[in-house]
Amino acid sequence: MGSMIHLALGPLKIDWGKNDGFTMHGALFQPSDVTQVPYAYVDDAGEPITEWKEGAARPLSTMLPRLELLGFTMEGIGQAYDMSCAAEELNVPPVSFNGISDLFRDLDLDAAAIDYHKNYNFSALLADRIFGPIDSTSHSIELDDPRFDFVRAVDSLHPYALLRMFAENPRNLSRAVTWSFADVVENGWVAREHIIGSLGAQRKFLAVTEGSSDAAILGRALALLRSDVADFFYFVDMEEGYPFTGTGNLHRFSQGLVSIAIENRVLIVYDNDAEGLAKFAETARLRLPPTMRVMHLPDHPSFVSFATVGPEGPGTAPINGRAASIECYLDLRRGRSGPPAVRWTNYTSDGSYQGSLIDKQSYARAFLGLRHRARDYDFSKIESAVDAMISECIGIALADARSW
């Protein structure tokens, strides 16, 4: 029979392989996901038995953002399904993608697993749900049967697309996605180090910011708030000094990446201040490749009226697009002894005032000193910045054909 390896959602096998013929699914998991998972066998008497061996497992709920950063959004899957129908020369899709997604949303996972194990053909199982079972005497599909085209289209979908569609059903989110690799390791088809080394390995995103403080804060925020996907991101190595300090250098770096047609996935991140928005607009006008995007930190309601200090003394003013550096997104109760305030520093050429948070380093130090998600720390603003960054990277993955 050989050594089997499976990727499964609960009791339902999504993908499988044998001996050395299998797909590596390490990108779905992190090293901390290695655990004991159940393996189903049949004993010498033909009775089913279960053994617990090493594998990888994590809930579908926490795998969902990883799937999307790999490019498997519902929008992307719908496009892939339509392209599959076109590639198979199906003038009219046998079932619309909305019909497919509705089917996944309503499918009972346990019942589907029982039916699947009868013939190990998942697309045929779905076809039975839509078109009814085939003739029990022939067990064959005629070429003019609409289920024939349906099976061809579904068979071309990536296993990760199936997982993403199953996530549309809230009842499935608590189910474990398991990768059962012990048998191929035990029987010498692949080294355990190769399997473990693949965990967390995927097409990563290089995030480039205006300065080392921005990179350090965003990196720590990912680790604290979005640990399920933090391994998708890396920042410029700053041990030898940060090379892109300031908006001008960051824009010139972006121009250089465009000129060499960079293939790495790159996200350029500007601050939400006057200089940042001006350079964001310049960079956005470049002919960016699909693997590269530019963003500025998002507006936030708390920045609509903010304490300021200028030539005319203290006051309040909106700082979205004028003075919201990364430090403004931190808990401003943690830092300098006085109340937080922005000091206006200069008047830019486009007619906007540029400002800077007073003693911003004190807020950065307080945040970077955190070692866990403290309950008494207000993460709401920095969380919005991190989520905006993740959203842009999902867009990159969706546009990058190599995702599929």
User: Greatest CA span in the chain, whole angstroms?
Assistant: 90
Mean pLDDT of the chain: 88
Enumerate residues 6+ apart whose C-beta is below 8 A from 329: 217, 297, 300, 381, 382, 384, 385
Per-residue model confidence as pLDDT tens digits over 135-145: 655 555 555 66
- β-pairing, 34-42 with 292-296? unpaired
Q: How far apart are CA 359 and CA 42, in angstroms?
A: 67
CA distances from 166 to 108, 117, 179, 388 (A): 10, 18, 17, 25
Kindly state the DSSP code that residue 102 receives in the 8-state scheme: H
Q: Would residue 375 be called left, alpha or beta, if left means φ above 0 and alpha means ψ between -120 and 50 degrees?
A: alpha
Neighbour-count burial of 198, counting CB atoms closer than 10 A to its CB (0-12 exposed, 13-18 middle, 19+ buried): buried
Secondary structure of 44-61 in HEC code, one letter for each residue: CCCCEEEEEEEEEEEEHH
Asked whether the CA dihedral 16, 39, 26, 117 is positive or negative, the reply is positive
Q: Does the pLDDT value for residue 134 go beyond 70?
A: no
Which residues, in sequence order, are CB contacts of 66 under 8 Å at separation 6+? 27, 28, 202, 228, 229, 232
- Assess contact for 323 and 355: CB atoms under 8 A: yes
Instruction: Round to whole Å and give the CA distance between 136 and 17.
Output: 28
Domain ranges of the chain: 4-198, 205-403
pLDDT tens digit sequence for 86-128: 776 665 567 888 888 898 888 888 888 877 766 667 787 788 8
pTM: 0.89
Report which of 239, 247, 242 is spatially closest to residue 268, judged by C-alpha positions.
247
Stronger pLDDT, 80 or 243, i.e. the higher one: 80
For 264-275, write each residue's pLDDT tens digit: 899 999 999 999
Question: What's the rounded mean pLDDT across residues 237-266?
Answer: 79
